[in-house]
Amino acid sequence: MTEVVDDFKAAFRLHPAGVALLVAAGEDGPVGMTASSVASVSADPPLLSFSVAKRSSSARVLTSSEMLRVVLLGTHQTALARAFATSGADRFTPQQGWVDDPAGVPDLPDAPARLLAGVRRVVPAGESWLVLAQVERVTFGAAAPPLLYVDRAYRAAS
């Protein structure tokens, strides 16, 4: 099994992905994490999928929330992507551009697009949960080239 696991990881390092933040309201304040697994599944109804590691401290909140926000990042937001992928880093500071939201799920107006979505299905998948969520509202910010993750580095599309 070890060999296929290592090969699997090596293959997906070659596979580029857009970078998003997943944000939800926890009992002790907002939680968030960087994700490179957000994908469009269906347009009508508008459904997206993503996965979160079960061991992640935010996984329980993200999978059990009524509503979460998927923030699609631009290349000017690499520092944010790193912060939300690093345990103990500063999160949800006003300096990062977060603004409060009536539902307790902070918004990031500086990001090119933010999708408010309700969790519809949570499928156990090995070390992770595979989540299907229905998008209720989309908000667009300033146009910016999308942020890309490939070969363990943040990049832009050429």
- Binding residues for a second copy, per CB under 8 A? 1, 4-5, 7-12, 14-18, 20, 36-51, 72, 112-113, 115, 121, 123, 125-128, 130, 132, 135-138, 140, 146, 148, 150, 155-158
Instruction: Give the shortest CB-146-to-a second copy separation in angstroms.
Output: 5
Q: Report in angstroms the alpha-carbon separations of 87 from 7, 25, 83, 114, 149.
A: 27, 18, 8, 23, 19
Whichever of 50 and 98 has its CB closer to a second copy, that residue is: 50
Comparison of 90 and 127: residue with beta carbon closer to a second copy: 127
Bridge partners, 133 (sequence order): 48, 119
Instruction: Report, in Å, the least distance between residue 126 CB and a second copy.
Output: 3
- Paired with 111 in beta bridges are none
Question: Nearest approach, Cβ of 116 to a second copy (angstroms)?
Answer: 10
Angle at alpha carbon of residue 92, lines to 121 and 130, rounded to 5° = 15
Q: Between 16 and 29, whose beta carbon lies closer to a second copy?
A: 16
Q: How far apart are CA 149 and CA 58, in angstroms?
A: 21
